[in-house]
C-alpha cells in the first residue's frame, strides 16, 4: 500500500508506481518536504534527482545529482567488495569510524572525483549520513516504486 500523499503521482494502471510524467511534480513535492536540502550532504538541492533503491525499485528521497553519482559509486564498490545492499550501513559506519582505512580511503577518492575540494571532515559527515541513509528501512515509508524491482538483486 502506497502512502496517500503519493497517490496523485502514481500511474493510472499501477497505483504503486511513479508515473513518468509525474516525476517533475513528485521531485518538487519531495524537495519541499526535505526543506530543499540534500539529506546526505546537507546542501541546497540545486540539481535534484529522485533516488531509488535498485533492488526494490522503491523511491527514497531527492538527492543532488552529484550526491546520487557518489551514492552509485559507493554502491558499486561495496557490491564489488561482497556486501549486499541491505548490509551497506555496516561498512560505511566502519569506514566513518576509521575501522577500515582501505575502504575509507577509496571512498574519499570517489568523493574527490565529484567534489575536488571536499575536506576530510566534510567527507566523514557525508559518509556518516550515507550510512544512516542506507540503514533506513525505506519499505516502511510506503513510497512509490520508481521502476520495477531488479530480478538479479544487484
Distance separating alpha carbons of residues 132 and 75, to the nearest angstrom: 14
Q: What is the dihedral of CA 43, 48, 50, 55, to 10 degrees?
A: -60
In the block, cell 546520487 appears at 68
Q: pLDDT tens, 14-61? A: 888 889 999 999 999 999 999 999 999 999 999 999 999 888 888 999
Query: Grid coordinates in use for 59?
Result: 523511491
Residue 152 lies in a domain: no
> The dihedral of CA 13, 142, 41, 102: what is its sign?
negative
Confidence of residue 154 (pLDDT cuts 50, 70, 90): very low
Higher pLDDT, residue 28 or 10: 28
Residue 70 lies in a domain: yes
Residue 128 lies in a domain: yes
Q: pLDDT tens, 66-117? A: 999 999 999 999 999 999 888 899 999 999 999 989 999 999 999 999 999 9
Domain membership of residue 107 as a residue range: 4-141
Residue 127 lies in a domain: yes
Q: pLDDT tens, 105-130? A: 999 999 999 999 999 999 999 999 99
Residue 146 lies in a domain: no
Residue 154 lies in a domain: no
Residue 153 lies in a domain: no
Domain count within the chain? 1
Residue 43 lies in a domain: yes
Amino acid at each position: 500500500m502506497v502512502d496517500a500523499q503519493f497517490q496523485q503521482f502514481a500511474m493510472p494502471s499501477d497505483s504503486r508506481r511513479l508515473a513518468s510524467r509525474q516525476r517533475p511534480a513528485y521531485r518538487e513535492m519531495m524537495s519541499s518536504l526535505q526543506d530543499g536540502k540534500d539529506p546526505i550532504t546537507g546542501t541546497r538541492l540545486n540539481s535534484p534527482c529522485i533516488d531509488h533503491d535498485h533492488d526494490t525499485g522503491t523511491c527514497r528521497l531527492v538527492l543532488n545529482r552529484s550526491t546520487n553519482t557518489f551514492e552509485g559509486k559507493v554502491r558499486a564498490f561495496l557490491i564489488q567488495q561482497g556486501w549486499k545492499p541491505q548490509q551497506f550501513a555496516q561498512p560505511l559506519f566502519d569506514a566513518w569510524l576509521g575501522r577500515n582505512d582501505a575502504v575509507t580511503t577509496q571512498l574519499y577518492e570517489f568523493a574527490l572525483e565529484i567534489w575536488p575540494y571536499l575536506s576530510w571532515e566534510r567527507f566523514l559527515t557525508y559518509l556518516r549520513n550515507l550510512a544512516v541513509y542506507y540503514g533506513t528501512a525505506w519499505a516502511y515509508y510506503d513510497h512509490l516504486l520508481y521502476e520495477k524491482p531488479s530480478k538479479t538483486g544487484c
